[in-house]
Amino acid sequence: MNTEELIQSVRKARQASSQLALLSGRERNGMLQSFHDELMKQKKRLLEANARDLQKAGDYGLSEAMVERLTLSEKRIEEIAEGAAQLIQLPDPCGRTLKRWTLPNGLDIIRTSVPFGVIAMIYESRPNVTADAAALCLKSGNACVLRGGKEAHFTNEAMTDILHEVLRGAGVEEAAVTSILDPDRSLVHTLLTLRGLVDLVIPRGGAGLIRSVVETSTVPVIETGSGVCHTYVDKDADLAKALPVIVNAKTQRPSVCNAMETLLIHQQIAPECIASVFPALRAKGVEIRGDERVRALDPSVLPAVQEDWSTEYGALILSVSIVDSLEDAISHIRKYSTGHSECIMSENKETIRKFMNSIDAACVYANASTRFTDGFEFGFGAEIGISTQKLHVRGPVGLEPLVTYKYKIFGNGQIRE
Amino acid sequence: MNTEELIQSVRKARQASSQLALLSGRERNGMLQSFHDELMKQKKRLLEANARDLQKAGDYGLSEAMVERLTLSEKRIEEIAEGAAQLIQLPDPCGRTLKRWTLPNGLDIIRTSVPFGVIAMIYESRPNVTADAAALCLKSGNACVLRGGKEAHFTNEAMTDILHEVLRGAGVEEAAVTSILDPDRSLVHTLLTLRGLVDLVIPRGGAGLIRSVVETSTVPVIETGSGVCHTYVDKDADLAKALPVIVNAKTQRPSVCNAMETLLIHQQIAPECIASVFPALRAKGVEIRGDERVRALDPSVLPAVQEDWSTEYGALILSVSIVDSLEDAISHIRKYSTGHSECIMSENKETIRKFMNSIDAACVYANASTRFTDGFEFGFGAEIGISTQKLHVRGPVGLEPLVTYKYKIFGNGQIRE
């Protein structure tokens, strides 16, 4: 595929998008149902395609974790199908009246939610993302241009074929789901600069992938980011409450972005807090790295270096610092936060209020685990990631941010004086 | 100013932004009032600074229109002051509860509107934009980094000094309004890539400026765009209603982005429509360029060439095409629209519905002039431009899009299972 062919493909996707935008919510749900059904019927075909990719995994030098993510099984395919079917239950994000008002001159203005048009998804070698991204776009009335990792080539090809069958069955042009299977990297670069043809880019994957998309794209991007999440134990904290929250935030699933990486403790409560929290964390296998004041109270703690405060460990490691005041906690967080999720443990309402208002993050918690920052936990019924930027959507990205709006304005011959 | 100094300035602006974000709406309005008062008091100082810029306008080779935009007068300063004072009346965009719900586990989630933090504004040599941008940011609790055209250097310097007096009077760090007065262009490039320090970039100016910002910036951009706006006269149009709407859309202020550039006419109504509309347009000095079918009906019409259909004239020129059907009108608009404002003149409700749903533009009108696409006309009380992109804000950009939101989550020890 050369640049011109890519542009032609995206043009076709754009054309198909206007067809999709006119479908009813029921028709779009029908496609999700038939996608579910076809996935269940065509497991064998998907597994065969996946086996071809897995055979080549060695040539690509994939790590064990990457092979694991690439691998399909009957059970995984069923989960993917189930994911598509679950979207049917969610309310239609399109065609909602977001606001309506009438001007003194009689113009009736309706702000209505509508699909973006064409959404490009850039992701790694995870075939479930292909299915998930396409299903979210079908639900929200958007055409999609999918660019997954080359290591999933055959699986993505089979998945795309199934999606095309679904589209044909609904009388929609196949280009509504367009996969760019050619591994040439320059195609991604071109795709990311097709302003006017592509309305939105969503990168899904590791920090490197996201940064590269953000730096290249001239099309607007919804960026999902990393989390250096803090929990601050205030002098007015209830330690019996704090202990399980801290252990949960660090250890329940340490590899994800909403896990806690740094614990800040008010000096007045530090000896007591450390005495109860450190043993519990160590019992879960957590390595603790602390500043000098922490090590003065517990010499078995490893010394934290400057880099620790800005590191997303994604592992059972925790950095701990003792602070003199709420203000010190806030300024530590301001300095090192990635704007994801931050928590205060305190029983003092005024202290909580100050913390909530001063911390610049997508989610600011009082007395609960940062692990709740998640589209499903929030009740959104879907999740594309956690946005740590502030434009359009912040925090968990569900279905709602996959639509934009337009104004419909009804007049009776009004002119501007 | 070198790169390091620029980064230091933006860091200071960021620090000041957390101070601004904690002010009450009343305190922010107080600053707007004192900005108004200082502008009225310091007219002489501004006019002197402006005179220094105007002296140099020749060296910069400014066109007459550019000199006009650069020029301040007592009256203009009063208008600028009045603009700042008017913002006081608008509702506070910050601290609004946008959504609130409680999860089954008792977590109380509040989506609250909050300032972005630091907004960078890139604009041309229009001193009124300096005042306007700063006032909008003060109202919305954002720190701003202002980069105006070098031709307005002395005026911007004086305006910034006045803003700093206002900030000092309110006990806010001066860096809350930071002007980059050094003309070095590489500073703009650096500013546009300060992700994490700058939250949002808003370019204000001509298409070239906006394109260059969009192409350079890795910080999210709110893009305001150009308008190739169409009006389609359907076969079921009421021509008595259509005539004034068409004349208004083309001639009331032809230089702006919401003015009509192309008229599409259904063939069934074309002879009658042309007979009434063309003389009225010509009486207002409009040059008409048409396709062959138009010229067959009115041989005095100039021939339209391919380029005409995608040209934003910004002048008393109109391209006209006769189409066979609603579908043809829609596909013409899809091909050439910039997604700004499109209009149908029709008395047929089903036709209007189809047009409204099929056209992908910020504002879609039935039976009214496209000239209404404007923040003030829409009742937003402010306008930064018209967004023709679809992320975060579409159509007229008022005060509301200058804030983002965060989630405040109140718990009582909840952990994730």
* Closest chain A CA to residue B335: A15
Supply the pLDDT for residue A205.
87
* Closest chain A CA to residue B380: A103
Sequence letter at residue B308: D
What is the spatial distance between Cα B286 and Cα B278, in angstroms, rounded to a whole number?
9
Q: Are B107 and A368 in contact (CB under 8 A)?
A: yes
Sequence letter at residue B389: Q
Supply the pLDDT for residue B306.
97
* Closest chain B CA to residue A102: B378
What the block records as the tokens of B243 is: 């005539």
Helix (H) or strand (E) holding B107: none
Supply the DSSP string of B215-264, one letter for each residue.
Answer: HH--S-B--B----EEEEE-TT--HHHHHHHHHHHHHSSTTSTTSEEEEE
Which phi and psi angles does B232 have, rounded to 5°? Answer: -110, 120
Residues 330 through 349 of chain B touching chain A, CB cutoff 8 Å: 334
Among A351, A402, A409, the strongest candidate for a mutation testing the B interface, having the largest count of B CBs within 10 A, is: A409
Q: Are the beta carbons of B408 and A218 separated by less than 8 Å?
A: no
Confidence band of A291 (pLDDT split at 50, 70, 90):
very high
Predicted confidence (pLDDT) at residue B93 exceeds the cutoff of 90: yes
The set of residues, in sequence order, having a beta carbon less than 8 Å from that of B396 and lying 6+ positions away, is B373, B374, B375, B377, B378, B380, B383, B386, B387
Q: Are the beta carbons of A390 and B116 separated by less than 8 Å?
A: yes
What the block records as the tokens of A162 is: 């199934």
Supply the pLDDT for residue A224.
86
Give Cα A355 to chain centroid, integer Å.
25
Residue written as tokens 């998907």?
A46
Direct distance between the N- and C-terminal alpha carbons of chain A, in angstroms, rounded to an integer: 53
DSSP B198: B
Q: Are the beta carbons of A404 and B391 separated by less than 8 Å?
A: yes
Provide the shortest C-alpha distance from residue B89 to chain A (in Å): 19
What the block records as the tokens of A45 is: 């075909």
Residue B100 in contact with partner chain A when CB distance is under 8 A: no
What is the spatial distance between Cα A235 and Cα A229, in angstroms, rounded to a whole number?
20
What is the spatial distance between Cα A59 and Cα A125, in angstroms, rounded to a whole number?
14
What the block records as the tokens of A27 is: 């028709």
Please say whether the dihedral angle defined by the alpha carbons of residues A175, A176, A180 and A186, taken in this order, is positive or negative: positive
- Tell me: the pLDDT tens digits for B360-399? 999 999 999 999 999 999 999 988 889 999 999 999 999 9
Predicted confidence (pLDDT) at residue A86 exceeds the cutoff of 90: yes
What is the spatial distance between Cα B188 and Cα B205, in angstroms, rounded to a whole number?
15
Q: Are B14 and B176 in contact (CB under 8 A)?
A: no
Among B217, B277, B409, the strongest candidate for a mutation testing the A interface, having the largest count of A CBs within 10 A, is: B409
Predicted confidence (pLDDT) at residue B206 exceeds the cutoff of 90: no
CA atoms within 13 A on the CB side of B150: 10
Residues 398 through 417 of chain A touching chain B, CB cutoff 8 Å: 404-416
What the block records as the tokens of B376 is: 């003030």
What is the spatial distance between Cα A263 and Cα A313, in angstroms, rounded to a whole number?
13
Q: Are A261 and A229 in contact (CB under 8 A)?
A: yes
What is the spatial distance between Cα A362 and Cα A382, in angstroms, rounded to a whole number?
18
How deeply is B354 buried, as exposed, middle or buried, from its count of CB atoms within 10 A (0-12, 13-18, 19+)? middle
Q: Are the beta carbons of B245 and A365 separated by less than 8 Å?
A: no
Q: Which residues of A touch B107 (CB under 8 A)?
A: 368, 372
What is the spatial distance between Cα A127 and Cα A50, in angstroms, rounded to a whole number?
9
Number of other residues whose CB lies within 10 A of the CB of residue B263: 28
Tell me the helix, strand and coil percentages in chain B, rounded to 5: 45, 20, 30
What average pLDDT is seen over chain B? Answer: 96
Give, in order, the Cα–Cα distances in Å from A346 to each of A25, A105, B406. 45, 53, 20
Predicted confidence (pLDDT) at residue A56 exceeds the cutoff of 90: yes
Confidence band of B225 (pLDDT split at 50, 70, 90):
confident
Q: Are the beta carbons of A245 and B415 separated by less than 8 Å?
A: yes
- Tell me: the pLDDT tens digits for B286-343? 999 999 999 999 999 999 999 999 999 999 999 999 999 999 999 999 999 999 999 9
Provide the shortest C-alpha distance from residue B342 to chain A (in Å): 10
Confidence band of A225 (pLDDT split at 50, 70, 90):
confident
3-state secondary structure of A223: coil
Q: Which residues of A touch B365 (CB under 8 A)?
A: 409-411
Q: Are the beta carbons of B392 and A394 separated by less than 8 Å?
A: no
Among A352, A358, A390, the residue with its CB nearest the CB of B18 is A358
3-state secondary structure of A369: coil
Q: Are the beta carbons of A214 and B218 separated by less than 8 Å?
A: yes
Checking A374-383 for CB contacts under 8 A at 24+ apart, the result is A374/A258, A377/B103, A377/B416, A378/B103, A378/B109, A379/B101, A379/B103, A381/A86, A381/A87, A381/A89, A381/A90, A382/A87, A382/A90, A382/A136
What average pLDDT is seen over chain A? Answer: 96
| Mean pLDDT value across residues A285-314 | 97
Confidence band of B65 (pLDDT split at 50, 70, 90):
confident
Q: Specify the pTM.
A: 0.94
Supply the pLDDT for residue B130.
96
* Closest chain A CA to residue B352: A410
Residue A369 in contact with partner chain B when CB distance is under 8 A: yes
Provide the shortest C-alpha distance from residue B74 to chain A (in Å): 26
Q: Are B242 and B273 in contact (CB under 8 A)?
A: yes
Tell me which residue of A198, A53, A61, A74 sits closest to A126, measured CA to CA. A53
Supply the pLDDT for residue A118.
98
How deeply is A41 buried, as exposed, middle or buried, from its count of CB atoms within 10 A (0-12, 13-18, 19+)? exposed
Tell me which residue of B408, B412, B406 sits closest to B109, measured CA to CA. B408
Domains identified in chain A and CATH numbers = 3-224+397-410 (3.40.605.10), 229-372 (3.40.309.10)
Q: Are the beta carbons of A394 and B377 separated by less than 8 Å?
A: no
Predicted confidence (pLDDT) at residue A266 exceeds the cutoff of 90: yes
3-state secondary structure of A345: strand
Number of other residues whose CB lies within 10 A of the CB of residue A365: 32
| Mean pLDDT value across residues A378-399 | 93
Residues 169 through 208 of chain B touching chain A, CB cutoff 8 Å: 195, 199-200
Q: Residue A221: beta bridge partners?
A: A201
What is the spatial distance between Cα B357 and Cα B373, in angstroms, rounded to a whole number?
18
Provide the shortest C-alpha distance from residue A375 to chain B (in Å): 12
What is the spatial distance between Cα B10 and Cα A190, in angstroms, rounded to a whole number?
32
Predicted confidence (pLDDT) at residue B8 exceeds the cutoff of 90: yes
Confidence band of A343 (pLDDT split at 50, 70, 90):
very high
Predicted confidence (pLDDT) at residue B28 exceeds the cutoff of 90: yes
What is the spatial distance between Cα A196 and Cα A183, in angstroms, rounded to a whole number?
24
